[in-house]
Amino acid sequence: MSKAILYDATLCIGCKLCEQACATRNGLPYDDKIAAEEELSAHKLTAVLSRDGAFMRKLCMNCADPTCASVCPVGAFQKTAEGPVVYDSSRCIGCRYCMFACPFQVPTYQWDERFPIVRKCDMCSDRVAAGKVSACAEACPTGATKFGEYNDVVDEAGQRLRDNPGKYVDKIYGLSEVGGTSVLMISAVSFDRFGFHTPQEPLPLLTWRVLRHVPDVVILGSVLLGGVWWITHRREEVALAEAMRKESQP
């Protein structure tokens, strides 16, 4: 069954234990300096943001219809049945279209490496496959980050919104953004405040609407161009034959 992460910003105390657990799981260094960075990078796959005393987590949303998976020319990204969007670095050619296209600006690059790869949170796909919860959810001391079945997570988020009228902004972020994501967030502070502006429709549709016409263009184009070629050259042939005929019978 499909899994999901629920992040309730009102329960978050900004302890950043999720960041530390994430770094450990991904074999990345973690110290005070890195903890102070409030943005994703190749060495920080999740970040706790704070604005006026309110917190918000940034991590890969693991979209239902991931933009990264659709744009990658070599199919390095894949949405798994359990929810995580995984990245296969052995395929990656480094075109960085995933970074350019991601509506959440999540994939990051190893800019200073000679043989760089893209880094992003993959919802702890190996742990999930083994039936465990994500490292960040396991580390969270307050239950702000929870891990569970997608349907249960959606129900719980809705329940919390209904049970506490006025406490939360009326939105489950990730329920409908770009067609839905495997990370869902609720918060007392507007998501705009953290720079989360996201289109509602799944982005891959935008390019697919054009791309699916490629076979039509090829077929119609060949017929059309071939036809034009035939007509223009046939005209020449006819003119030549006419001239020859006139010459032979003076």
Q: Can you give the binding site for other proteins, defined by CB under 8 A?
A: 39-42, 67, 70-76, 91-97, 99-101, 103, 105, 108-117, 195, 197-199, 203-204, 206-211, 214, 217-218, 221-222, 225-226, 228-229, 232-233, 235-236
Closest distance of CB 156 from other proteins, Å: 29
**Of 75 and 141, CB closest to other proteins:** 75
**Of 83 and 103, CB closest to other proteins:** 103
Closest CA to 177 of 204, 199, 203, 196: 199
**Of 141 and 226, CB closest to other proteins:** 226
Closest distance of CB 75 from other proteins, Å: 4
Is-contact 42 28, C-beta < 8 A? no
3-state secondary structure labels for all residues of 47-109: EEEEECCEEEEECCCCECCCHHHHHCCCCCEEECCCCCEEECCCCCCCCCHHHHHCCCCCCEE
Closest distance of CB 27 from other proteins, Å: 20
Interatomic CA distance for residues 161 and 186, integer angstroms = 8
Helix (H) or strand (E) holding 7: strand 3-8
**Of 67 and 182, CB closest to other proteins:** 67
Closest distance of CB 81 from other proteins, Å: 18
Closest CA to 187 of 153, 144, 148, 146: 144
**Of 132 and 234, CB closest to other proteins:** 234
Closest distance of CB 108 from other proteins, Å: 4
Interatomic CA distance for residues 165 and 159, integer angstroms = 10
Interatomic CA distance for residues 111 and 51, integer angstroms = 28
